[in-house]
Structure 1
Amino acid sequence: MNQSKVMRAFLEDTLLSLMLYSCFSSAVSSLYSSSCQLQEQFHLNRMHKTGDVIIGGLFAINSFTDDLDLTFTSKPQLPPCYGFDVLGFRQAQTMAFAIDEINKKSSLLPNVTLGYSLYDNCFQLGIGFRAALTLVSGQEEQVTLEENCVGTPPVLGIVGDTTSSNSIAISAVLGLYKVALVSYYATCSCLTDRQKFPSFFRTIPSDAFQVNAMIQILKHFGWTWAGLIISDDDYGFHAARSFHSDLGPAGGGCLAYTEILPWGDDPAELRRIVDVMRKSTARVVIVFAYKGHMINLMEEVVRQNVTGLQWIASEGWSAAAVLQTPHFMPYLGGTLGIAIRRGEIPGLRDFLLQTHPDLHHNNTDGNSMVNEFWEHTFKCRFAPPPAGWVEAGGELCTGQEVIENVKNELVDVSNLRPEYNVYKAVYALAYALDEMLQCEPGRGPFSNNTCAHLQRLEPWQLVYYLEKVNFTTTFGDQVSFDENGDALPIYDIMNWVWLADGRTKVQRVGEVKRSAFKGEELTLDEDKIFWNFESKHPPLSVCSESCPPGTRMARKKGEPECCFDCVPCSEGKISNTTDSMECTSCPEDFWSSPQRDHCVPKKTEFLSYHEPLGICLTTTSLLGTFICIVVLGIFIHHHSTPIVRANNSELSFLLLVSLKLCFLCSLLFIGRPKLWTCQLRHAAFGISFVLCVSCILVKTMVVLAVFRASKPGGESSLKWFGAVQQRGTVLVLTSVQAAICTVWLVSASPVPHKNTQYHSDKIVYECAVGSTVGFAVLLGYIGLLAFLSCLLAFLARNLPDSFNEAKLITFSMLIFCAVWVAFVPAYINSPGKYADAVEVFAILASSFGLLVALFGPKCYIILLRPERNTKKAIMGRGSTK
């Protein structure tokens, strides 16, 4: 039956039942009628027992009905029911047993006898709806009413219905009158809506919890890519909604596909669904359907030979024996199923053994279910005495044969699951009724602190107490209802084992439950699980492999959320967990490892004494210092020679000392920068070079003064360039640079700095100049003195002297200026340690230029041409020119 037929049948039954229910409603709303006439009486399969208070029940005793042709030109008839379901009958008998057991207890409902009226719904909404309205309206053709509607209604509450669709329709109507409906099998999560279903309760967990249990199983085994197949009804649609809202990266995965099993099990649609399963990469398939749908689906799976799948079964087919056959088990072996909690009901087996029509009290109307059970199961019909029980073939059935057959068909109580929920539902109603009847007058929960009375019980009063029920079964399970009418959920996890000899066993391998204190708990005994794969291990069912540490997940555009690429973390970022969504940046002084899975300290870079460049510069600096010492020694040794005396020996000695300091100050630029080296390096460099250049400047000025003194009237100029004046000038010029350095160090001192701008993965140690202005003034002052020296030397280059030192000074200053002019752009554009190397090179180059240009020719004459180191040679050469 498709959904349109279901809706049509529901509307037909609703309209018809409104007439039937007029008795019940008019008794509540009208004070002017003295009687109520039953408009219609349905003849349904039932089982009845009288009592002070009657509890109704709806069970699926017959499995099938024939569709009727609804023309609406004549009164619709009830469709015939057939296909007797022994399990449904056992559930009805369990309710009868629970009521019989309660009546025998003195501690529960003393002095009150419970009765029952149980109806068969034939698994059909229309029949179930008729049965429910028959329960609440009663079967009396005419009811005489008192002015205040005194009297107990036909039933105080109903145990049922079997399916979610039936329960939705029935509870929607019964909720208007606050008649309690306690279902033992309806799992649709939509029934938790208290606005629509204010009087609905259930002892089976909702689909929302069942879906959550399945998601926990998926997460437990790392299955992030699963297929979902649902039945075309409320049971399936609401489950799919829960899956799509709960299953995702946060929930553990996503769905590869969602397929809907049609009501009519259309062969073409089934072929398409199985084809999708065959082509999908998902190895886990969740099926939310009933066993009837699964039989048709599995036939197509076998036909297309789709193997290698891990099935997860909803409670609708997780215990279906009809699927546990050699025909299906090669495909369904290893199935993990969510099953209703198995319980134990002491005494039920003995009660079931007594289930047979009484030969002396033939109550065929009140117990038509029992008669049908015997006729269906044992092919016997009840005939009036003395014929007794007669087989279809005409032979008599002995009592012993009947009892043996009952043992095989009905009394297997080793796997009580729906029956256990029926048992808890009956006891929940009984405990609520007991609590209601124990109310003390004047302290009741109703208006004016009144209590309910046995002679005037109303269904809505029972609902109040049902919401507060809390008891423990003999099996040890706590039963109570939350604000949505749901009991504390618990499910068994079942595994389908395919034994080597071809037999099948369904074993319990765990449970999932929710407690008030610990929340949801999944317990699995993995050693007991049978896996229907060659590896004998859980399969891998993922859309994308897990991203290892060092990578992050990047979702694939246009594909489900659990399909992603693993993108390596960028430089400087890491991920140290599997399936990381983002890469995290390393701290400032750390960098990512080559695997990008942890941070390592950054490499440090500075001009070191241990690297080739640092060694070369250090060696050159020491070589220049050594040469200065050698030259100084030569000059001291030959201080009395004319060439040394003619070139102002005192300034020459001071110049050699300053050049030696220039060579040594370059060593301050090599090695890890420290505060004292940063502060000292530029000060030492600036003062040493100003001392050097000021000596050259004074020497040049002395040369010009001597030339002027050689002319008539120029003798007076020499008094300004005596030894004291020369020393004073050098000291003053050097003091100016010292003052510049002092102001710079005090106002904005250079400090060590960790620079990460040049290289992200390295820390470049350098000295931050502190004040660019101070550094520029220092260099500018040196440049000014050098320019003046060069200018004066250039003017004095052609003076008539046999050994004119002005030429050497001019050449040395040109080298000096060229080096430092080239230094500025090179220094600015050199990163990190290379800036220090450029500055050291400039210091060494300019120092060597001065040393060689000024002292090279003199040392040549002193050491190699001593004949030219005489006063006569110097003066003579000058006169020849």
Structure 2
Amino acid sequence: MARAEQQRLAQATSWSAAAPCPALAIPMGARAWKVTDKRPETDDTGLGDRTQPNATVCTRLSAPGLLWALAVMMAVEEINNASTLLPGLRLGYDLFDTCSEPVIAMKPSLVFMAKVGSRSIGAYCDYTQYQPRVLAVIGPYSSEVALVTGKFFSFFLMPQVSYGATTDRLSNRETFPSFFRTVPSDRVQATAMVELLRGLRWNWVAAVGSDDEYGRQGLGLFSSLANAKGICIAYEGLMPLPRAGGLRLGSVQSLLHQVNHSSVQVVVVFSSAHAAYSLFSYSIHYRLLPKVWVASETWLTSSLVMTLPGMERVGTVLGFLHQGAEMPEFRSYVQTRLARAAEPAYCASLEAGQLGLEEHVVGPRCPQCDRASPENVTDGLLYHQTFAAYAAVYSVAHALHKALLCNSSGCPAQEPLRPWQLLENMYNVSFRAYNRTLQFDSSGNVDLAYDLKLWVWQDRMPMLRTVGSFNGSLELQFSNMIWHTPGNQEPVSQCSRQCREGQVRRVKGFHSCCYDCVDCKAGSYQRHPDDALCSKCDQDQWSPDGSTRCFPRTPRFLAWGEPAVLGLLLLLGIVLGLVLLALGLFTWHRDSPLVQATGGPRACFGLACLGLVCLSVLLFPGRPSTANCMGQQLLLHLPLTGCLSTLFLQAAEIFVASELPPSWTDWLHSRLRGPWAWLVVLLAMLAEAALCSWYLAVFPPVVMTNWHALPTEALVHCRVSSWIMFGVVHATNAMLAFLCFLGTFLVQSQPGRYNSARGLTFAMLAYFITWVSYIPLFANVHVVSHPPVQMGTILFCVLGILATFHLPKCYLLLWRPDLNTPEFFLGGGPSDARGQGGSGHEEETQGKNK
């Protein structure tokens, strides 16, 4: 941590800093330093045994902490020796050790906030004019310590710049309004880890964190981000903080053994270096299988973990380190400083220059600083960590430059600067350090990219190899990666295999990464590789089973070239040819007794109507339109009514002649022939026309596109709007056919006479059989087959009437002209309508046969 005080009389600013290293907080009178204790203990101060709030002593020397303190010293000396940033002012520093303990860190914090010139903190309602001993604090490195000191300094709006506290909670401006840091938040690191897992297709992992602020919040961030990106955490746990004596990992022990026997090949470890040391010590001791270990930044570069015996057998270790600027002069600066510290005269001068304020207030100085060597300290020299401490000093110096209105000639004299005034200039301050431009955002964080580092073992110490980077997006260098697997194969950590294209995942159990692969059914497709459900195609599209895309549906209708249509057209040609043949014969023999007995001109009209009925089938093939759909019904029903009405008149004549008294016969015959007969035909057709017009106006058939009837095509067809009205339109023709059938079915044939009643009876039977069969057939066949079924029904109806009523007469006209006599068809003359002439004709016929 750091302090700054402005001495207006001397026109210099004395700025003190504290770092988690005791080396520079004591007189440096020893010739050499040596790190004698590297046990993974966190209780270096004996805080757990205290019964009184007395002085505490740190028992370990932290080499990285010493280097961070030296980086702060180097930055202060550069600023003081330059004439551009703070001309005419000098910065000073005092260094205090936190021992990574909030309790110890609070003591120098209280010293920093003491009123200038005293050791006491004044209690005021308004601290606007309060002048503490320092203007800014640098540090600490630990997130857990920073959470405590950050709240304390935020109360006084004292600027605090950390070079290592990465917990995301410190980004909360409401709780920590005066906290800044020159390293990215753990949220960025957790995001980079998740992107790494996604980039390497690892979605089945285990996650372990240390049971402290850093591990808990880091593990929580990673878990939430991983779940949001579809990465499943098979096993998750917190490691208790290590204590002296034994390897006690709590529930993590069983977790490690479960991971060891599972398909999980990747373990994310978000923990402190001491907790990671205990974790790998346990793994090495019990010879657990090697895995891929994704390291958090805290222990990735820890010499404590790197030098653990057997560490090379745990598998592949990789993790992210934030990028810093290279500081080529720093190594020589460290060596120079440590060499000077070995000189007794230099240490004596330090003791003479300091009156021991810190020893009286904070406690005794580090007892092991005289046993450290330059070789041990510089072994862990990493520029990305020392640069953060170096940059923290420059951030405060640039804020001072703005607050004091400094220029190239100097800093104008003004009232003493207070911490809250300096804080106003810290927000969004942009500063340069080793040719890198940094800026605090609204949360007090800086935007620094990450390098992905891989441990590559050389002898007994791993080297950090850069195999990728993360700056909002991940970039991997696969060619530089080395894996612990045989043949250097990339490890696979998945609960289930990757589904093939066109398959989606059916989740098994609680984890979305454990699933069965299921093919997308026809009509659906796989939109994205990670989809859990198939997406339905639009109604105008289709897809086969196991598809990744949809295809446009092609329109389907009864085309002219289809085999069914060609067969029906052939049948149409035959039926229409027979109709025209019959019509020609009836017209040619229009004055013969046979034609006259059949109705004469009415018979020709009925045949012409049958021909129009045949032609109505030509409206069914081709792409349907509204006109076609309406014309199909109109051209079918009106001509059919015309034909049936002529047959009805023929049936009525036969019924009158056979079943009614003679007194009624002549009068009814006169009404059933001539103009009155044509009036009946006209009235029947007008009635049918009225029904058809109402049907087409109120319930018109519509052209419909059925998207679901066919798997790959869109069926375009005419849809009946009302089946009830469709039946009513058919009712007129059905009634005429039924009356014809009733009028001829019970009529007895007369000897020697042509039996027209029998032909009409069979014609009506053919009509009813055809249309009654049409109903179940139409209801049961696929909608695609509806048009050809209707075409076939119409043609067979016409053919049935033609074959049973008209073609027998054509046979007599062509091959039995001898029977085409009035006696055979008309009963000898109009006056003998009851059959006498027919009896004589029968005798004549029998004589000829003899």
Instruction: Please report the TM-score for the alignment, with normalisation by the length of structure 1.
Output: 0.78
Contact 1:78/1:127 (8 A) holds in 2: no
Q: In the alignment, does 2:425 pair up with 1:465?
A: yes
Tell me how far apart the structure 1 counterparts of residues 295 and 221 of structure 2 sit (CA, whole Å): 16
Measured in 1, the distance between the counterparts of 2:821 and 2:403 equals 139
Equivalent of residue 525 in structure 1, options 477, 489, 505 = 477
Alignment pair present for 1:426 and 2:393: yes
Q: Counterpart amino acid of 1:54?
A: W
- Match of 2:715, SS state, is strand
In structure 1, the residue matched to 2:263 is 281
Identical positions, percent: 26
**Which deviates more from structure 2 when the two are superposed, residues 865-874 or residues 849-858?**
865-874
Which residue in the other structure is 2:8 paired with?
none
Which residue in the other structure is 1:6 paired with? none
- 1:227 maps to 2:206: yes
**Match of residue 123 from structure 1:** 100
Amino acid at match of 2:616: C
Post-superposition CA distance 1:474-527 (Å, at most 9, x none): 2x222332333323343332121235x7763212334334xxxxxx34444333
Q: CA deviation at 1:291?
A: 2.3
Question: Which residue of structure 2 aligns with residue 58 of structure 1?
Answer: 19
Counterpart of 1:202, as a letter, is R
Structure-1 residue corresponding to 2:294 = 312
Of residues 153, 161, 182, the one that matches 1:203 is 182
Question: 1-side partners of 2:764 and 2:168: how far apart?
Answer: 96
- The C-alpha deviation readout for 1:338-374, integer Å capped at 9, x for no partner, is 2243333354334323322444351464599999677
On the 8 A contact 2:283/2:314 being kept in 1, the answer is no
Equivalent residues in 2 for 1:267-306, closer than 5 Å: 269=251, 271-306=253-288
Q: Establish whether residue 360 from structure 1 lines up as the match of residue 312 from structure 2.
A: no
Change (3 A) 1:97 1:677: closer
Q: 1 CA distance for matches of 2:768 and 2:433?
A: 104
Q: Does 1:188 align with 2:167?
A: yes
Which residue does the alignment assign to 2:371?
A: 376
User: Which amino acid in 1 is paired with 2:62?
Assistant: D
2:511 maps to 1:550:
no
Aligned runs of 1:792-831 on 2, under 5 Å? 792-794=743-745, 796-798=747-749, 802-824=753-775, 826-827=777-778, 831=782
Distance in 2 of aligned mates of 1:416 and 1:308: 30
* Cα drift, residue 609 of structure 1: 4.9
Distance 1:292 1:585 in 2: 53
Q: Deviations over 1:203-231 (max 9, x none)?
A: 22222222122223223333333221111
For 1:770-816, what per-residue CA distance to the aligned partner results, in whole angstroms no more than 9, with x for missing partners?
56566444312212222332333346444676223223223322332
Q: In structure 2, how many angstroms separate the alpha carbons of the residues matched to 1:864 and 1:144?
A: 138
Task: Give, in angstroms, the shift of residue 671 of structure 1.
Answer: 4.5
CA distance in 1, matches of 2:639, 2:722: 20
CA 1:180/1:452 → structure 2, altered by over 3 Å: closer, same or farther? Answer: farther
Moved more, 718-727 or 683-692: 718-727
Give the deviation of 1:473 after TM superposition: 1.0
1:753 paired residue number = 704
Task: After TM superposition, list the pairs within 5 Å mapping 1:342-741 onto structure 2.
Answer: 342-345=324-327, 347-355=329-337, 356-357=340-341, 358-361=343-346, 362-363=348-349, 365=351, 366=354, 375-377=370-372, 406=374, 408-410=375-377, 415-438=382-405, 453=415, 456-474=416-434, 476-498=435-457, 504-513=462-471, 520-536=472-488, 538-557=490-509, 559-602=510-553, 605-632=556-583, 643-644=594-595, 646-703=597-654, 711=662, 715=666, 718-741=669-692
Q: Deviations over 1:392-444 (max 9, x none)?
A: xxxxxxxxxxxxxx4x445579632322111112222222233333379xxx9
Deviation per residue, 1:835-868 (Å, 9 max, x gap): 4344334333332332232235445555666665
Change (3 A) 1:645 1:211: closer
Q: Compared with structure 1, are the counterparts of its residues 643 and 528 closer, same or farther at alpha carbon in structure 2 (3 Å cutoff)?
A: same
Q: In the alignment, which residue of structure 1 is the partner of 2:89?
A: 112
Deviation at 1:304, TM superposition (A): 3.7
CA distance in 1, matches of 2:185, 2:620: 78
Contact preservation (8 Å) 1:187, 1:204: yes
Distance 2:782 2:121 in 1: 107
Q: Alignment RMSD, CA only?
A: 4.1
1:846 aligns with 2:797: yes
Whether the 8 Å contact between 1:215 and 1:252 is mirrored in structure 2 is: no
TM-score by length of 2: 0.81
The one-letter amino acid of 2:446's match is: A
**2:74 corresponds to which of 92, 97, 118:** 97
Check conservation: 1:439, 1:452, Cα contact below 8 A: no
Which residue does the alignment assign to 2:847? none
Flag the 1:373–1:819 CA change in 2: closer, same or farther, 3 A. Answer: same
| Alignment partner, residue 839 of structure 2 | 878
CA displacement at 1:238 relative to structure 2: 1.1
Give SS of 1:259's match. Answer: strand
Q: How does 1:311-330 map to 2 (within 5 A)?
A: 311-324=293-306, 327-328=309-310, 330=312
- Greater CA drift, 282-291 or 865-874: 865-874
Unmatched tracts of structure 1, length 5 or more: 1-23, 25-49, 379-405, 445-449, 514-519
In structure 2, which of residues 136, 139, 143 is the aligned counterpart of residue 160 of structure 1?
Answer: 139
Would you say the 8 A contact 2:642–2:685 is kept in 1?
Answer: yes
2:174 is matched by which residue type in structure 1? Answer: Q
Specify every segment of 5 or more residues in structure 2 that has no aligned partner in the other structure, as ranges.
6-10, 23-34, 828-836, 844-850
- The amino acid across from 1:878 in the alignment is S
Shift of 1:101: 2.0
- Which of 215, 225, 232 is residue 254 of structure 1 equivalent to? 232
Q: Which amino acid aligns with 1:375?
A: D
Residues 504 and 526 in structure 2, CA contact (< 8 A), matched pair in contact too:
yes
How far, CA to CA, are the matches of 2:404 and 2:118 in structure 1? Answer: 30
Q: Secondary structure at the match of 2:93?
A: strand
Displacement of 1:237: 0.8
- The letter for the 2-side match of 1:107 is T
Could you tell me how far 1:55 is from its partner in structure 2? 1.6
Is contact 1:284-1:310 (8 Å) kept? yes
Bigger mean CA offset, 807-816 vs 707-716: 707-716
Structure 2 residue aligned with 1:12: none
Query: How many angstroms apart in 2 are the aligned matches of 1:270 and 1:429?
Result: 42
1:288 to partner: Cα distance: 1.2
Question: Would you say the 8 A contact 2:206–2:266 is kept in 1?
Answer: yes
Alpha-carbon offset, residue 284 of structure 1: 2.0
Task: Tell me the distance in 2 between the aligned counterparts of 1:69 and 1:671.
Answer: 94
Change (3 A) 1:172 1:750: closer
Closer, same or farther in 2 for the Cα pair 1:138/1:542, shift >3 Å?
A: farther
Q: CA deviation at 1:266?
A: 0.4
Q: Which amino acid aligns with 1:685?
A: L
Q: Is the 8 A contact 1:56 1:116 kept in 2?
A: yes
Distance 1:108 1:713, change over 3 A: closer
Displacement of 1:60: 3.1
Instruction: Give 2:272's aligned amino acid.
Output: Y
Closer/same/farther in 2, CA of residues 765 and 484 from structure 1, 3 Å limit: closer
Amino acid at match of 1:244: S
Give the 3-state SS of the residue equivalent to 1:417 in structure 2.
Answer: helix
Structure 2 residue aligned with 1:778:
729
Pick aligned residue for 1:177 from 151, 156, 161? 156
Residues 716-746 of structure 1: CA deviation (Å, up to 9, x unaligned) = 5554455454445434533443454455545
Kindly tell me: are residues 866 and 229 of structure 1, through their superposed partners in 2, closer, same or farther at Cα, counting changes over 3 Å? same
